[in-house]
Structure 1
């Protein structure tokens, strides 16, 4: 199954974009859910879109999946960029360690629920 047809990816992406639109339309609110919804959904959306592009260009197509190490690298990249580096250079970004927890939960959710399962290897006996 391609990533775009995965209902969990679809719902995650839809909720992410609806939340972004609501923030732009109505302004930012400071409720707990609003504060962390984007962070929970960011990794499934980022990794899901990236995986879909890889599936389009990789010779194995829909059999291609991310390893746990690749997911970990994505998590570390987003965490360091958004919670470490960007707050140093812009007042738009604030360091919040709960965001990192949300990125971790989102990465785990992507790996278990959206990333395709590994195909069993057929041994040539």
Structure 2
């Protein structure tokens, strides 16, 4: 399976520097948890911060490839903020009621919304510059 697609003169790639960083951080955290080695704030909050940008980028890529097929699509900020609302409600509100693996943490909510803003003003800026959107 290819993870880059050509639209006219634009070669859209899933693994840009930001998305690659999101995955590497996630892998590092998973490995550290497996070996019971804490990475401090990375383990606690960075993954929450990167959740919305990673999902937004993956979703934009998939929509670009399978729906638009001609242009690179990026989510409007309202979609990223809605993702932060849904993650906050599910992971910080509902899931702690049903499982002890989840704990309600307001800082996680701040991380989800900060990640949405990061995607909008940093990652999406990179994409717009790269693909001339």
TM-score normalised over the length of structure 1: 0.80
- Given that 1:2 and 1:62 are in contact with CA atoms closer than 8 Å, whether structure 2 keeps it comes out as no
For residues 10 and 74 of structure 1, the distance between their equivalents in structure 2, rounded to whole angstroms, comes to 20
- Determine which structure has greater relative contact order: mean sequence separation of CA pairs < 8 Å that are 6+ residues apart, divided by chain length: 1
Which residues in structure 2 correspond to 1:36-47 (within 5 Å)? 36-47=45-56
Is 1:105 aligned to residue 129 of structure 2?
Answer: no
Which residues in structure 2 correspond to 1:1-125 (within 5 Å)? 2=12, 4-24=14-34, 26-27=35-36, 29=38, 31-115=40-124, 116-117=127-128, 119=133
For residues 32 and 70 of structure 2, the distance between their equivalents in structure 1, rounded to whole angstroms, comes to 35
Q: Return 56-65 or 42-51, whichever deviates more.
A: 56-65
- Given that 2:45 and 2:108 are in contact with CA atoms closer than 8 Å, whether structure 1 keeps it comes out as yes
Shift of 1:61: 4.4
Structure 1: 4+ residue segments shifted above 4 A: none
**Matching residue of 2:4:** none
Unmatched runs of 5 consecutive residues or more in structure 1: 120-125
Choose between structure 1 and 2: higher strand proportion. 2
- What SS does structure 2 have at the residue aligned with 1:44? helix
What whole-Å deviation, never above 9, does each CA across 1:69-113 have from its counterpart, x for those lacking one?
Answer: 111111111111100110111110000000011111111111222
For residues 37 and 28 of structure 1, the distance between their equivalents in structure 2, rounded to whole angstroms, comes to 16
- State the superposition RMSD in angstroms: 2.1
- Given that 1:75 and 1:103 are in contact with CA atoms closer than 8 Å, whether structure 2 keeps it comes out as yes
TM-score normalised over the length of structure 2: 0.76
Shift of 1:57: 0.9
